[in-house]
Amino acid sequence: MKMLGAEVVIECLKAEEVDIVFGYPGGAVLTLYDALFKTDFPHILTRHEQGAVHAADGYARATGKTGVCFATSGPGGTNLVTGIATAYMDSIPLVAITGQVGVSLIGKDSFQEADICGITTPITKHNYLVKKIQDLPCVMKEAFYIARTGRPGPVLIDISKDVFNDTLDFVYPETVCLRGYRSLFAGDSNQIDLVIEALEKAEKPVIFVGGGVNLSGTAEEVRRLVDVTGIPVISSLMGLGCIPSDASEHLGMVGMHGTYAANMATIDCDLLMGIGVRFDDRVTSLVQNFAPEAMIIHFDIDPAEVNKNVRADFKVIGDLRWSLPLLCEKIAERNMGKEQWARADWVGLVQEWKREKPLASSLPAGGIRPQAVIEKVSELTQGESIIVTDVGQHQMWTAQSYNFNAQRSFLTSGGLGTMGYGLPAAIGAQITLPEKNVILFTGDGSIMMNCQELATLADNGLPVKIIVMNNQVLGMVNQWQRMFYGKRYSHSSTKGCTDFVKLAEAMGVAGLRVTKSEELDTVLEKALKMKGPVLIDVLLPETEDVLPMVAPGGRLDQMVLRGIIG
């Protein structure tokens, strides 16, 4: 049957089992939007293209499915850039579809023309410019295949306006033929035997889990591994949720704002088994001083991750859905007790570190402790919620203080650190998981970077609870200025006329405010019970630091444990 190119796109989305698209219309995608109208395909209109791409990202992180967003040519496409880069850094499966000017106008600096393929080349797993309708079905098939297989990532398809208006006898290809693309699943199982031998010899082993576990949905295998061996676990920001935050083996997040126990264990361990991690600089600090005594084992799906930042002694390349069950199976075959895998003196030492220096606040009594806000929400939700954050101090406090206990329950921009990510990502998560509590922790800086999406939230009746950790400063910048720039607070104050409660109300979101610590619990309890979207403006002291902190370039055991106040 003859079909318009725009209809072909919709048919391909159906074939890929896409159930919703986030987007914003414009000149080059009018025919595509007309097809959406005619087919009644589910679509959420955000208020900015950046909102659309982050929403698709939040949808993907919460479910593991591929997120899809639409934008028009030129500024539509360029507004996606930050969101695509965010997804790329955190390996999120995403397909972004942009309109492009007509074929004859390409390269002529036409109205709303931008070379979005050129622009997004370094931040996509792959991208396509479609100038002929004959190529469209195949490109769509390949794009979804590439986005979700192997190490996931964003793929952009730039489709000329002419292609949407052209017609084709549509047949969706059943297979892809990509000569240069291999999505590796199973690797070399001999490597796993070597890993087990090394684990047997180790006296002070540590397991280090990362975003790869969340992405592959292998938290259960990690928990089995820890149950059987009792080996202490540390987590990257992206790995939180793989193992319950309050599990006794869990030492917490490692790195710049890692816990005392996790950072000390990294410096002292003699074997560090990284699972789905990329040894980011916020984890390792100065790479030469990272786990200096340890043999490094690296499990990853991407061969290019091994030896990129930290040299691995053993590598297990392959999908964690292949390697982790096999590792668990082979470990079970050994019939060894916990005390043989994780010696009592080592376990005792790390538990001592955990007790000795738990996370602390440096604030004098009186004001609302930001950590208390998160602890209260954690208690009220029992770890059953989807927690979303923006970027900055509140993000680190959430990572440190919330009790996560499920994979895919923590959505945050880890690699790129994108302020403004949180609200649209929460929208994407809530749409696909209507039964879940979706809670956004944000800051007075971050919320303003995509606050227009409050309208999307309200107009779709999505019951996201937004907690603005309002300290009236760009907190993380302020903290660095306090610590490293002689308290010269250059342009890091947001003190002004903004009233977040009124802002929320103006867009149709209920607004509440907490100014005293006595009110905190009751307001949070009330807000979480309310049906629709709520924004809670929590006024915090200006000068609380995120601690511990490893100064840039420092060793992980050289932590600042007490803040500089004032």
Partner 1 sequence: MKYTLAVLVENRPGVLTHISGLISRRAFNIESIAAGPTEEVDTTRITIGVEVEDEFELEQVVNQLSKLVNVIKIANLTYVDSIQRELALIKVRANKANRSELVDVVEIFRAKIVDVNRETLVVELSGEESKIDALCEVLTDFGIIEIVRTGRIAVSRGPVAAKDM
Kindly tell me which of 115 and 542 has the beta carbon lying closer to partner 1: 115
Which residue among 15, 45, 103, 117 contacts partner 1 (CB under 8 A)? 117
Which of 104, 121, 134, 493: binder of partner 1 (CB under 8 A)?
A: 121
Of the candidates 3, 41, 112, 357, the residue annotated as catalytic is: 112
Alpha helices in 382-532 (DSSP H): 393-401, 422-432, 453-459, 475-484, 500-506, 517-529
Query: Is 307 an interacting residue with respect to partner 1 (CB under 8 A)?
Result: yes
Minimum Å distance from CB 104 to partner 1?
17
Nearest distance, CB of residue 309 and partner 1, angstroms: 10
CA distances from 400 to 68, 369, 541 (A): 31, 14, 19
CB of 146 to partner 1, least distance (A): 6
Please say if 500 is a catalytic residue: no
For partner 1, which is the closer residue by CB, 70 or 128? 128
Q: Minimum Å distance from CB 101 to partner 1?
A: 16
Asked if 303 interacts with partner 1 (CB under 8 A), we say yes
Task: Based on the residue annotation, tell me whether 531 is a catalytic residue of this protein.
Answer: no
8 Å CB contact between 230 and 338 = yes
Region of 60-68, 302-310, 391-399, 476-484 interacting with partner 1 (CB under 8 A): 302-310
- Answer for the pair 220, 423: CB distance below 8 angstroms, yes or no: no
CA distances from 287 to 291, 300, 555 (A): 9, 19, 9
Total number of residues that touch partner 1 (CB under 8 A) = 21
Is 161 one of the annotated active-site residues of the chain?
yes
Measure Cα distances from 484 to 260, 361, 489 in Å: 21, 20, 11
Catalytic: which of 16, 49, 453, 544? 49
**What's the CA gap between 511 and 498, in Å, rounded?**
13
Give the Cα separation of 356 and 353 in Å (integer): 5
Reference 69, options 38, 32, 39; nearest CA is: 32
Does 522 interact with partner 1 (rule: CB under 8 A)? no
Query: How near is the Cβ of 455 to partner 1 at its closest, in Å?
Result: 36
Smaller CB distance to partner 1: residue 126 or 513?
126
Say how far apart CA 138 and CA 159 lie, in whole Å. 13
Residue type, 367: G
C-alpha span between 527 and 536 (Å, rounded): 8
Q: Which is nearer to partner 1, 290 or 397 (CB)?
A: 290
Pairing of strands 534-539, 126-130: unpaired
Question: Does residue 330 have an active-site annotation?
Answer: no
CB of 267 to partner 1, least distance (A): 23
| Integer angstrom CA distances of residue 189 from 71, 185, 273, 341 | 44, 12, 16, 20
Q: From residue 375, how far is each of 203, 206, 215, 335 by CA, in Å?
A: 35, 27, 26, 39
Residues 376-405 that bind partner 1 (CB under 8 A): none
182 vs 491 by CB, closer to partner 1? 182
**Marked catalytic residue, from 125, 161, 204, 354:** 161
Both tokens of residue 560?
């600042």
Q: Is the CB of 21 or the CB of 147 nearer to partner 1? A: 147
Rg (CA), the chain: 24
Determine which residue in the list 65, 132, 282, 308 makes contact with partner 1, applying CB under 8 A: 308
* CB of 268 vs partner 1, minimal distance in Å: 26
Single-letter code of the amino acid located at 211 = G
Helix axes 81-89 and 49-63, enclosed angle (nearest 10)? 20
- Cα 78 to its chain centre, rounded Å, is 21
Whole-number minimum distance, CB 182 to partner 1, in Å?
9
CB nearer to partner 1: pick between 278 and 369: 278
- To the nearest whole angstrom, how small is the minimum distance from the Cβ of residue 303 to partner 1? 5
Going by C-alpha positions, the residue among 264, 257, 529 that lies closest to residue 397 is 257
Residue 112 among the catalytic residues: yes
Site of tokens 């360029």: 78
Binding mask 75-114 for partner 1 (x = CB under 8 A): ----------------------------------------
Dmax over Cα atoms in the chain, in whole Å? 72
Instruction: Between 180 and 364, name the residue whose CB sits nearer to partner 1.
Output: 180
Residue among 464, 439, 450 nearest 388 (CA): 439
C-beta of 289 vs 494, nearer to partner 1: 289
- Binders in 123-182 for partner 1, by CB under 8 A: 125-129, 146, 178-181
Question: Which residues are catalytic, by number?
Answer: 49, 111-112, 161, 476
Contact residues for partner 1, defined by CB under 8 A: 117-118, 121-122, 125-129, 146, 178-181, 302-304, 306-308, 311
